[in-house]
């Protein structure tokens, strides 16, 4: 059974850093396209970043240069390193597996709150 479990969210001051984790089971992260999607309180879904199975990475304009997506094959885990956090980064962050132009499995999400 495919499962994705995010962790690492919390309250952080503006300008701070946080690393989110997404532990996967039932499939191999390094053989998959994996993505992060976020949802600000009361708002819609916003794509954040993707990592291809070959290792290429892409980012939304709003986070490029501040966020870094990566993975650890030995732990079958996806990460999102978030630096220089801003209030507008406050959101629930979801990881999802991408397959054929779609997101077939999603995690439960982890809340990041950026506030002083």
Partner 1 sequence: DVVMTQSPLSLPVTLGQPASISCRSSQSLVHSDGNSYLNWFQQRPGQSPRRLIYKVSNRDSGVPDRFSGSGSGTDFTLKISRVEAEDVGVYYCMQGTHWPPITFGQGTRLEIK
**Angle in degrees, CA 66, 60, 87, rounded to 5:** 55
What is the closest distance, in whole angstroms, from the C-beta atom of residue 44 to partner 1 in the complex?
A: 4
What is the closest distance, in whole angstroms, from the C-beta atom of residue 27 to partner 1 in the complex?
A: 16
Comparing CB distances to partner 1, the nearer of 13 and 55 is 55
Binding residues for partner 1, rule: CB under 8 A, are: 35, 37, 44-47, 50, 58-61, 94, 98, 100-104, 106-109
Comparing CB distances to partner 1, the nearer of 14 and 44 is 44
Comparing CB distances to partner 1, the nearer of 65 and 100 is 100
Comparing CB distances to partner 1, the nearer of 102 and 116 is 102
What is the closest distance, in whole angstroms, from the C-beta atom of residue 116 to partner 1 in the complex?
A: 28
What is the closest distance, in whole angstroms, from the C-beta atom of residue 15 to partner 1 in the complex?
A: 25
Beta strands per DSSP E along 8-109: 10-12, 18-25, 33-39, 45-51, 57-59, 67-72, 77-82, 91-98, 103-106
First to last CA, the chain: 40
Sign of CA dihedral 43, 45, 46, 51: positive
C-alpha to C-alpha distance for 36 and 49, rounded to whole angstroms: 5
């Amino acid at each position: 059974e495919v499962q994705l479990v995010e962790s690492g969210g919390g309250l952080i001051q503006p300008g701070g850093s946080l690393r989110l984790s997404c532990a996967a089971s039932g499939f191999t992260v390094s053989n998959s396209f994996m993505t992060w999607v976020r949802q600000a309180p009361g708002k819609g879904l916003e794509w954040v970043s993707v990592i291809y199975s070959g290792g290429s990475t892409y980012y939304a304009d709003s986070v490029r240069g501040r966020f870094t997506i990566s993975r650890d094959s030995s732990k079958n885990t996806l990460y999102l390193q978030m630096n220089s956090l801003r209030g507008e980064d406050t959101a629930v962050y979801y990881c999802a597996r991408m397959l054929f132009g779609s997101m077939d499995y999603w995690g439960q999400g982890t809340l990041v709150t950026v506030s002083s």
